[in-house]
Amino acid sequence: MTEQLRLMAVHAHPDDESSKGAATMAKYVSEGVDVLVATCTGGERGSILNPKLQGDTYIEEHIHEVRAKEMDEAREILGVRQEWLGYVDSGLPEGDPLPPLPEGCFALQDVDEAAGRLVRLIRSFRPQVVTTYDENGGYPHPDHIMTHKISMVAFDGAADTAKYPEAEFGPAFQPQKIYFNQGFNRPRTVALHEALLSRGMESPYGDWLKRWDEFERAERTLTTFVPCAEFFEIRDKALIAHATQIDPDGGWFRIPMEIQKEVWPTEEYELAKSLVDTSLPESDLFEGIRDNA
């Protein structure tokens, strides 16, 4: 190859990179791919989800700094680079009716202007492949939905010098493929659920599957299955680094590692747009790109 492969993963908050596609990133890093995580917000309005840290006054008063340090640790574990887009967490509105989003938050930004920050980063890093969230955000957090919006605009906008002039945003560049993270999918959930039950073990996914049916959640098209089981431990280690968000004794880690590797050894994606020829299903985000790199 005459040019290094580069992957950009666009995420809403610190910790999202470790719960969505982390093993994939670690796999590609091990192969010499340059991987950059673009984090849209600082996670300032995220709740402290680890019960062992709830009530810690220092963390509550310095949540932005704490989460930035957690991100640094996770970044080192995964072996990736990371950049902040610099927006403020919108929080997850709750109630009926839902309260308005806080002034100045990420989800209330002008989409084209916010995409401009990502365009600048894409033109600087020059990734052939970008990963992000689908139009539902993976789940309907306003920051995840906004991340989808700016990612789709920036994917095309990075090559559009009329909309984003080179003098301000850097030389034009066109990524070749963009994917939606789909790691939380029904086939994977069912497979792990049934594997646990067949072994006489308790499954944490029973309620998940019931809610799936109750809300009639639409199935996504899984196009790409990246084999990365040998990096599941690195994924979990990176996730645990986000200590305010993850309880190491919680539900995330209730599935024995050997069962995960045996039953579902991949991470899944939905190919949203490709400017190169590829054949589905894929096992590589860079399929159609490697031979031309």
Binding residues for Zn(2+): 13, 16, 144
Q: What does DSSP say about strands 81-87 and 34-41: parallel, antiparallel, or unpaired?
A: parallel
- CA dist 90 and 80 (Å) reads 26
Q: Which two tokens stand for residue 263?
A: 């039953």
Q: Could you identify the residue written with the tokens 């880690």? A: 253
Q: Kindly report the backbone phi and psi dihedral angles of residue 130, in degrees, each rounded to the nearest multiple of 5, phi listed first.
A: -125, 140
DSSP codes joined into one string, 119-182: HHHHHHH--SEEEE--TT-SS--HHHHHHHHHHHHHHHHTT-TTTS-HHHH-S----SEEEEE-
User: How far apart are the C-alpha atoms of 154 and 168, rounded to whole Å?
Assistant: 15
In whole angstroms, give the CA distance from residue 252 to residue 16: 13
Residues that constitute the known binding site: 13, 16, 144
